[in-house]
Amino acid sequence: MIERARARRAWEANLPAADDPYRALERAKALEEQEMLEWKYREEEIQRVQEERLLTLKQLVADLQDQKQIEQE
């Protein structure tokens, strides 16, 4: 996350200044595109974490079922 924040600050430093209307629109468009990329990254990261949690939960349920079956025998 720190590296991503550093990269974003460096990227923002290279954006055109918003001193005239054309450059301001160009800057706004670039910022919007970057924001969309960040949202996509976040969504993918959330999906990855959810998948990891689901696998862990499935393994816990399977372990509990195995333990219950052993206790019943």
Tokens representing 61 are: 């349920």
Q: What percent of the chain has pLDDT over 70?
A: 100
Mean pLDDT throughout 19-46?
A: 91
Angle at 32 between CA 29 and CA 34, to 5 degrees: 110
Has this prediction a pTM greater than 0.85? no
Q: What whole-number distance in Å separates Cα of residue 41 and Cα of residue 47?
A: 10
Can you give the pLDDT at residue 57?
97
